[in-house]
A and B are shown apart, each in its own frame.
Chain A
Amino acid sequence: RKEVEQDPGPFNVPEGATVAFNCTYSNSASQSFFWYRQDCRKEPKLLMSVYSSGNEDGRFTAQLNRASQYISLLIRDSKLSDSATYLCVVPCNFGNEKLTFGTGTRLTIIP
């Protein structure tokens, strides 16, 4: 199993819809997880951290399922400005100092 796997998409979703991405990881000892957002030709920026079962921030909810080793990101009432690539990030197999980035899921919100 790869350290982290994401569905690359693209996801094309109408404005106002709800969209969810999943990400699976292989390191069962991982403690902290992150979702990053990356706009075209820009650097990745931290969107949410997930340390326990889940985290909610406005329209965004991140959930963690340790038993099945996946994390998910849910976006409600999607906006045009949510169009971006979303990167799933987990600690690497050899310690928490290094993070492993997924290749990203591309989301386009359609007017």
Chain B
Amino acid sequence: LAKTTQPISMDSYEGQEVNITCSHNNIATNDYITWYQQFPSQGPRFIIQGYKTKVTNEVASLFIPADRKSSTLSLPRVSLSDTAVYYCLVGDPISGNTGKLIFGQGTTLQVKP
């Protein structure tokens, strides 16, 4: 099973760019890298997903080097509302096409005014 390692916590200030790096040394050839955001007492919410190089959407960017053993979630100009737990997941495909996702402890991002 692919396992991920990410920092337990990070602090930032409003308006700064935040980069959260995740290590996944045992990533398999067919695995995608997915990031979720979770606020207290809510279910996680999908942020971004990628396979290689760079992916960007309206919320974040995801940078994946050629060896795919790590990835970096970049949040531009964070605000107080970005304070949350961020999970890096590497898909663990089971028989069939549905992914079985392994959630670690995540990174608690605290944005300060």
A and B bind? no
Q: B interface vs A, CB < 8 Å? A: none
Task: Write the residues of chain A forming the contact surface with B, with a CB cutoff of 8 angstroms.
Answer: none
